[in-house]
Copies of this chain bind each other. A is one copy, B any other.
Amino acid sequence: MNIMRGIMALCVAGGLAAAAQADHAGKIVYHVSEIEKVGFALGNIRNHINGVGGAEHVEIVLVAHGPALKAFHDTIDANPKIMDRVSALQGAGVRFEACGNTMNAQSVSLDDLMGSFARRDEGGVVRIADLQSQGYLYIRP
C-alpha cells in the first residue's frame, strides 16, 4: 500500500504539472527586433494587459534585439513617448530584456538603456526559445 500511495502521489504531481501547463495563457513573450515596431509593440502590450483585466492576470516578458534595441537607448534625444510607455509597463510588472549580443554590437551597458532592463548573455533568440519551452506563448508584433 505504501508503494501504491507513492505511485498515486507521483501521478497526482504529474497531473498538477499538466494542469499548470494547460493554464499558460497568462505567460507571454513579446519579440521585437525592428526599431520602427517598438512603439506599436509597447501599445500591444498595454492593450494585452487591459484586455485580460489587469497586470495581475498576465506575465509578460519583452525580448528586444537587433535594431529595436536602439529605441530603448536612454539618450538625450530618446523618444519621450517610448520612455513613458516603458516606464508605465515596467511599473505594471512587464519585464524588459535585452540581447547581450546586440548590447555588445551597439556598445551599450544596462545603464545606457531606459528604466530597468535585464541583460541576456545567451542572446535574445535563445532566450525567446527558452521562455517558450517554459510555457510562454509567443507574440511577434
The answer, yes or no, to whether A17 is at the interface (CB within 8 Å) is yes
Contact B19 A122 (CB under 8 A): no
Contact with B along A1-36 (1 / 0, CB 8 A): 001100111111111111111111100100101000
Does A129 sit at the interface, judged by CB under 8 A?
yes
Which residues from chain A sit less than 8 Å from chain B, CB to CB?
3-4, 7-25, 28, 31, 33, 40, 44-45, 47-48, 50-52, 65-66, 99, 101, 122-126, 128-130, 132-133, 135, 137-141
Evaluate whether A21 and B123 lie within 8 angstroms (CB atoms) in the complex, with A8-B11, A101-B47, A140-B140 already known: no
Interface pairs A-B: 8 shortest CB-CB: A15-B15, A14-B14, A11-B11, A25-B133, A51-B126, A51-B123, A10-B11, A13-B18
Other A-B pairs, 4, CB within 8 Å; known A14-B15, A16-B18, A133-B137: A12-B17, A14-B18, A51-B123, A51-B125
Q: A31 contacts which of B12, B17, B140 (Cβ < 8 Å)?
A: B140
Given contacts A11-B14, A14-B15, contact A139 B125 (CB under 8 A): yes
Asked if A126 meets B48 with Cβ closer than 8 Å, knowing A15-B18, A16-B19, the reply is yes
Q: What is the CB-to-nearest-CB distance from A44 to chain B, in angstroms, rounded to a whole number?
A: 5
- In the bound complex, CA of A12 to CA of B14 (Å): 5
Task: Write the nearest CB–CB distance from A47 to chain B, whole angstroms.
Answer: 5
